[in-house]
């Protein structure tokens, strides 16, 4: 398709989009034209700039209490005022003469180049078309159409809401302004665009593909079928070109735009309108007083992108999920309790630290934690079940079947769990205490639900034995990492003072991640410095910063 055909098709799709939602194929075609034809993208932005300018002629046209005839009269007055100042379109004499003649010969249609000036002039002179489109738009604003669903919220406190703002509440277009004083909310537009809001924030629903942001922060995730979704602020308009982006409007009037994926069209400026294409990894600041645009640092962790009320999780683009935090009852992003964990003999959450005790060779589900499938104390004499799907740890060595303490989120007491003075990691953020003989299985599918669309690419951690001042030579343990019951990594005969690392790639089909420590096969009743030791004596295993890496 050549440029002229692109322009014709662009015009057809734009008019159809204003009359109603495009089908997926048409939305994909419009997105392709905007991405491949720079002039078409400019004309598209210019078109909506003109439409929004016409809307701003008379704010009273938005008042729902005015009747249709009054709005009709106001619109005609607006058009009359615009015609007085609109640029004249010159028609050459030979063209005028030609238009009065009839030709008997068939005329082949030719697509002449369309300039920006002629395109804009055509739009301004097409008063009848604009009346039909704009009048329908204003009428719908007066009625208020339901085009958005409140799909989720976390700790949300709304101000002056006419009815309870609960999950599933439908929001309408019009003059209503919603104010989220605290917490977080997710909006799902009918065109499948998702917007995450962070309180305090005030916004309006302008249409099924447009939102007005008065102040505060929002993040938009726009699928391909919703291309063209737009955000309006007091001094800027952002038109999506297939992307994810964040917008902040400061109390002082400045607007920030951060594009994290894809690209957008930015329209800003008060005296000289500027249209810019903003690509992935780029951020701009639009000054409130004059609309001047400047470059700023693009921050990937500045906006809340995804919320999950079931897990109480708030994701701001972090590239890792902390497993120790999950053991502490958290969501993997730092909300877990320190020195809190799970008793491997019962599967119950606890802050107790019981001593050495035997346990049955059974797999214990953990119903209190949706991200932990289960825990166990292996003896190696019978096949050890390690998942709720019945996967077996066939390589498990024989152990005493006894354990000590609990599986623990040990962040607060990390300093006392260092491997050695020289091998302590720089600024560690988390630690998982896993004494011999213990195992824990994480449900990766449930964890994926924390970040919809996120890909768990790998498991990474450092590990070793806690430094034990009284009997450092008594430590001796084996560390295992399994995926769906299959051994992916093992390090045997680990001693105090050693620091090791593990990095395992994960795929979307991997369901269960299991961490195990066994006692290293020490004989019962061994003697060290005249002391009779048990096989698990001083086997204080620690996983330092055990994380799932996101992409």
Phi, psi of 278 (to 5 degrees): -105, 120
Q: Which residue matches tokens 């989720």?
A: 152
Strand partners, 245: 220, 259
CB 250 within 8 A of CB 288: yes
Q: Which of 122-126, 234-238, 382-386, 516-520 has the lowest mean pLDDT?
A: 122-126
How much is the average pLDDT of 185-205? 96
Neighbours of 435 (CB within 10 A): 25
Neighbours of 414 (CB within 10 A): 20
Most confident of 226-235, 332-341, 524-533: 226-235
* Whole-number pLDDT of residue 527: 55
Q: Is the pLDDT of residue 350 over 80?
A: yes
Nearest CA to 184 among 173, 176, 194, 174? 194
Most confident of 10-19, 137-146, 178-187, 447-456: 178-187
| 41-78 tens-digit pLDDT | 777 776 766 655 554 444 333 333 334 444 445 545 55
Q: Give rounded-to-5 percent helix, strand, coil for the chain.
A: 25, 35, 40
Q: Could you tell me the two tokens for 469?
A: 């001042």
Q: Is the pLDDT of residue 483 over 60?
A: yes
Q: Which residue matches tokens 């952002």?
A: 238
- The model's confidence at residue 534, banded by pLDDT at 50, 70 and 90, is low
> Which of residues 129 and 45 earns the better pLDDT score?
45
Q: Which of 219-223, 254-258, 309-313 has the lowest mean pLDDT?
A: 309-313
* Whole-number pLDDT of residue 125: 47
Strand partners, 189: 148
Q: What is the mean pLDDT of the chain?
A: 79
| 196-221 tens-digit pLDDT | 999 999 999 999 999 999 999 999 99
Q: Is 394 left (phi over 0), alpha (psi -120 to 50) or beta?
A: alpha
| Class for the domain spanning 318-550 | mainly beta
- Burial per residue of 35-61, b for 16 or more beta-carbon CB atoms within 10 angstroms, e otherwise: bebebbbbbbbbbbbbbeebbebeeeb
CB 377 within 8 A of CB 447: no
Q: Could you tell me the two tokens for 126?
A: 């097409």
* Whole-number pLDDT of residue 167: 92
How much is the average pLDDT of 536-551? 86
CB 406 within 8 A of CB 438: no
Q: Which helix (H) or strand (E) holds 11?
A: helix 3-19
Q: Which of 163-177, 453-467, 512-526 has the lowest mean pLDDT?
A: 512-526
> Which of residues 520 and 492 earns the better pLDDT score?
492
| 393-427 tens-digit pLDDT | 999 998 888 888 899 998 755 555 555 555 555 55
Q: Note the maximum CA span of the chain.
A: 119
| 428-437 tens-digit pLDDT | 578 899 988 8
CATH code of the domain occupying 144-296 = 2.60.120.1440
- The model's confidence at residue 389, banded by pLDDT at 50, 70 and 90, is very high
* Domain layout of the chain by residue ranges: 3-81+115-141, 144-296, 318-550
| 495-533 tens-digit pLDDT | 887 889 999 999 999 999 999 999 887 766 565 555 555
* Whole-number pLDDT of residue 353: 79
| 91-118 tens-digit pLDDT | 444 444 434 444 444 444 444 554 544 5
Q: Which of 115-119, 141-145, 417-421, 457-461 has the lowest mean pLDDT?
A: 115-119
* DSSP character string of 410-449: -STTGGGG-S-TTTPPSS---EEE--SSEEEEEEHHHHHT
Q: Which residue matches tokens 């249709």?
A: 68
* Whole-number pLDDT of residue 106: 46
* Whole-number pLDDT of residue 23: 74
> Which of residues 468 and 321 earns the better pLDDT score?
321
How much is the average pLDDT of 136-143? 48
List C-alpha distances in Å: 49 to 27, 238, 284, 499.
Answer: 20, 11, 19, 61
* Whole-number pLDDT of residue 408: 92
Q: Is the pLDDT of residue 138 over 60?
A: no
Fold match between 144-296 and 318-550?
yes
């Amino acid at each position: 398709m050549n440029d002229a055909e692109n322009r014709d098709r662009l015009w057809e799709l734009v008019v159809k989009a204003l009359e109603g939602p495009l089908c997926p194929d048409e939305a994909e075609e419009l997105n392709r034209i905007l991405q491949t034809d720079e002039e078409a993208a400019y004309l598209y932005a210019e078109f909506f700039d003109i439409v929004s300018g016409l809307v701003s002629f008379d704010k009273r046209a938005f008042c729902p209490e005015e009747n249709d005839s009054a709005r009709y009269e106001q619109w005609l007055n607006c058009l009359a005022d615009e015609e007085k100042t609109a640029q004249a379109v010159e028609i050459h004499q030979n063209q005028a003469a030609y238009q009065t003649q009839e030709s008997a010969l068939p005329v082949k249609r030719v697509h002449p180049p369309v300039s920006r000036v002629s395109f804009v002039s055509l739009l301004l002179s097409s008063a009848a078309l604009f009346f039909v489109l704009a009048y329908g738009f204003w009428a719908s604003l007066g009625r208020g159409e339901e085009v958005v669903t409140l799909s989720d919220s976390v700790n949300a406190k709304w101000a002056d809401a006419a009815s309870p703002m609960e999950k599933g509440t439908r929001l309408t277009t019009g003059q209503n302004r919603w104010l989220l004083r605290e917490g977080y909310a997710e909006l799902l537009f009918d065109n499948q665009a998702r917007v995450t809001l962070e309180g305090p924030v005030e916004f309006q629903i302008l249409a099924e593909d447009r939102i007005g942001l008065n102040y505060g922060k929002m993040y938009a995730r726009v699928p391909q079928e919703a291309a063209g979704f737009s955000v309006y602020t007091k001094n800027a308009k952002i038109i999506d070109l297939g992307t994810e982006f964040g917008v902040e409007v400061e109390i002082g009037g400045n607007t920030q735009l951060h594009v994290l994926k894809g690209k957008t069209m930015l329209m800003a400026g008060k005296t000289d309108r500027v249209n810019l294409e903003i690509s992935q990894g780029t951020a701009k600041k639009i000054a409130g007083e004059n609309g001047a645009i400047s470059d700023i640092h693009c921050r990937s962790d500045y906006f809340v992108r995804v919320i999950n009320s079931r897990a109480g999780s708030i994701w701001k683009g972090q590239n890792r999920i902390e497993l120790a935090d999950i053991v502490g009852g958290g969501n993997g992003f730092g909300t877990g309790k320190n020195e809190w964990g799970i008793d491997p003999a019962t599967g119950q959450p606890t802050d107790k630290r019981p001593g050495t005790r035997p346990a049955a060779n059974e797999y214990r589900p953990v119903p209190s934690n949706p991200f932990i499938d289960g825990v166990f104390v292996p003896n190696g004499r019978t096949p050890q079940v390690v998942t709720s799907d019945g996967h077996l740890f066939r390589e498990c060595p024989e152990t005493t079947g006894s354990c000590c303490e609990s599986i623990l989120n040990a962040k607060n007491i990390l300093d006392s769990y260092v491997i050695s003075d020289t091998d302590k990691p720089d600024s560690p953020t988390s630690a998982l205490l896993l004494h011999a003989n213990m195992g824990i299985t994480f449900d990766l599918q449930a964890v994926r639900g924390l970040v919809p669309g996120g890909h768990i690419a790998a498991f990474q951690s450092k590990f070793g034995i806690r430094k034990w001042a009284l009997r450092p030579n008594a430590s001796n343990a084996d560390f295992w990492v399994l995926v769906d019951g299959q051994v992916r990594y093992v390090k045997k005969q680990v001693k105090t003072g050693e620091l090791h690392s593990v990095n395992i790639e994960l795929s979307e089909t991997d369901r269960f991640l299991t961490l195990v420590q066994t006692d290293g096969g020490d004989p019962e009743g061994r003697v060290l410095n005249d002391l009779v030791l048990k096989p698990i004596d001083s086997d204080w295993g620690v996983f330092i910063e055990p994380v799932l890496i996101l992409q």
